[in-house]
């Protein structure tokens, strides 16, 4: 897969050499700021997964430098259908904001569809606003499962001792919603509507001027509701770890209660310096 003219020169392809798997290990250390090697997916695991149907793709500059990679392994949905679980995607800091993360995901989709598999899934931290908006707005995922402290404590400097709660992103690769995103047709939702919708959780400002979670409200059978998250959770972790943990606990309650009531996350949108998850009642758009 070749880049568009507006991006730096790169090629996305399956990994071919042991040295390239070593490059993946090193990129993990940098991207997640791991204190040691215990949390790194080793080359032996990636090679083995690749040999039996997993997908390991690298993005390479013309001189052979690895710019990013993605890694997924085979799994099954609860219905029994095969899926690829996308466990890792990383882009070197030097090549961020060039669209390479999206290019890797679309290349991964092509590789999975070529296997005859039509589902992918992955988990991510619901407090990371950039990842959230990327997953929903750019790729068209949906979410209806919240996983508490999925990985326990890790050595990642990004986690800073926080519980590793995750949303499960579901990506129906042939779904109309995803096909629209693949064609470059993004959500046509007016974000100015968001502040007027019922809010399950909204941000306030604490005494230090940092975003703090407000009280949790009920949905009251509304068709659409919102959950607000802070724009920059890593800055809050650095400035006030207890406040960051308050966000974790508040969003945990808001998501688990809303999912139990039959809602799913349909979008993640920004408006006027705020980030909102848009939740809808009923079944998500998967077909």
Nearest to 258 by CA among 201, 204, 206: 201
How confident is the model at residue 158, as a pLDDT? 77
Residue 8 has pLDDT above 70, yes or no: no
- Give me the mean pLDDT over the 160-172 stretch: 94
Confidence of residue 7 (pLDDT cuts 50, 70, 90): low
* Alpha-carbon distances of 90 from 11, 86, 127, 131, 267, rounded to whole Å: 15, 11, 18, 12, 23
- Give me the mean pLDDT over the 127-150 stretch: 96
How confident is the model at residue 36, as a pLDDT? 83
Residue 1 has pLDDT above 50, yes or no: no
How confident is the model at residue 215, as a pLDDT? 92
Residue 82 has pLDDT above 80, yes or no: yes
Averaged confidence pLDDT in the chain: 92
- Give me the mean pLDDT over the 128-138 stretch: 95
Nearest to 199 by CA among 125, 279, 261, 284: 279
Residue 35 main-chain phi, psi, to 5 deg: -75, -25
| Residue whose structure tokens are 């779904």 | 175
121, 168 contact by CB (below 8 A): yes
The predicted-structure confidence for 173-202, as pLDDT tens digits, reads as follows: 999 999 999 998 877 788 889 988 999 999
pTM: 0.92
Residue 6 has pLDDT above 70, yes or no: no
* Alpha-carbon distances of 113 from 48, 80, 99, 235, rounded to whole Å: 20, 17, 21, 38
How confident is the model at residue 4, as a pLDDT? 42
Residue 286 has pLDDT above 90, yes or no: no
Residue 3 has pLDDT above 90, yes or no: no
28, 46 contact by CB (below 8 A): no
The predicted-structure confidence for 51-77, as pLDDT tens digits, reads as follows: 999 999 999 999 999 999 999 999 999
Set out the domains of the chain in order of their start, with CATH numbers.
11-182 (3.40.630.30), 191-281 (no CATH)
The predicted-structure confidence for 10-37, as pLDDT tens digits, reads as follows: 999 999 999 999 999 999 999 998 888 8
The predicted-structure confidence for 101-111, as pLDDT tens digits, reads as follows: 999 999 999 99
* Alpha-carbon distances of 124 from 44, 119, 136, 169, 170, rounded to whole Å: 24, 17, 12, 8, 11
The predicted-structure confidence for 197-221, as pLDDT tens digits, reads as follows: 999 999 999 999 999 999 998 878 8
């Amino acid at each position: 897969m070749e880049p568009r003219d507006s991006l730096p020169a790169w090629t996305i392809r399956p990994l071919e050499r042991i040295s390239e798997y070593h490059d993946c290990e090193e990129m993990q250390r940098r991207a997640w700021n791991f204190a040691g090697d215990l949390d790194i997916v080793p080359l032996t695991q990636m090679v083995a997964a690749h040999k039996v149907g997993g997908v390991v793709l690298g993005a390479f500059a013309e001189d052979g430098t690895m710019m990013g990679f993605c890694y997924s392994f085979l799994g099954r949905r609860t219905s029994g259908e095969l899926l690829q679980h996308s466990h890792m995607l990383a882009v070197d800091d030097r090549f961020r904001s060039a669209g390479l993360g999206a290019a890797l995901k679309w290349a991964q989709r092509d590789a999975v569809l070529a296997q005859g598999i039509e589902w992918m899934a992955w988990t991510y931290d619901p407090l990371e606003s950039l990842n959230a908006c990327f997953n929903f707005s750019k790729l068209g995922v949906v979410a209806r499962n919240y996983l508490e402290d999925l990985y326990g404590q890790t050595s990642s400097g990004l986690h800073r001792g926080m519980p590793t709660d995750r949303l499960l992103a579901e990506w129906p690769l042939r779904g109309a919603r995803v096909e629209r995103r693949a064609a470059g047709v993004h959500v046509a939702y007016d974000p100015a509507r968001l502040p007027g919708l019922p809010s399950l959780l909204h941000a306030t400002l604490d005494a230090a001027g940092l975003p703090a979670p407000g009280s949790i409200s009920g949905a009251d059978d509304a068709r659409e509701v919102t959950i607000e998250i802070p724009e920059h959770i890593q800055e809050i972790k650095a400035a006030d770890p207890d406040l960051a943990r308050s966000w974790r606990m508040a969003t945990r309650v808001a998501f688990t209660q809303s999912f139990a009531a039959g809602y799913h996350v349909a979008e993640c949108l920004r408006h006027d310096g705020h980030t909102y998850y848009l939740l809808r009642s009923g079944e998500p758009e998967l077909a």
